[in-house]
């Protein structure tokens, strides 16, 4: 994956997803000016709004539970 943050790059496996998350963390630390949502609540509100508005017909129903589990677990997982 050349640019993990490019929306054109399709994530198809766990490694690709982890790379996107790691790239987001690096971008936040190094280029906060590129972010519109600077706090966790702002970021999560933006994520919820995007999920609500996006055409996600290709997402399998099991992915929603996995995403919810990951978000809950990240509060305390090290």
The pTM of this model reads: 0.84
CB atoms within 10 A of CB 19: 16
User: Taking the mean position of all CA atoms in its chain, how far away is CA 61?
Assistant: 17
- Three-state DSSP class for residue 60: coil
Q: What is the pLDDT of residues 54-69, one digit of tens each?
A: 988 888 888 999 999 9
Task: Quick: pLDDT tens for 16-73.
Answer: 999 999 999 999 999 999 999 999 999 999 999 999 999 888 888 889 999 999 999 9
Give the domain ranges of the chain: 1-35, 38-78
């Amino acid at each position: 994956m050349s640019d993990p943050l490019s929306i054109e790059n399709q994530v198809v496996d766990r490694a690709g997803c982890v790379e996107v998350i790691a790239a987001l963390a690096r971008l936040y630390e190094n280029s906060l000016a590129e972010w519109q949502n600077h706090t966790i609540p702002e970021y999560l509100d933006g994520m919820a709004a995007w999920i609500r508005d996006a055409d996600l017909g290709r997402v399998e129903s099991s992915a929603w539970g996995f995403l919810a589990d990951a978000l809950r677990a990240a509060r305390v997982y090290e």
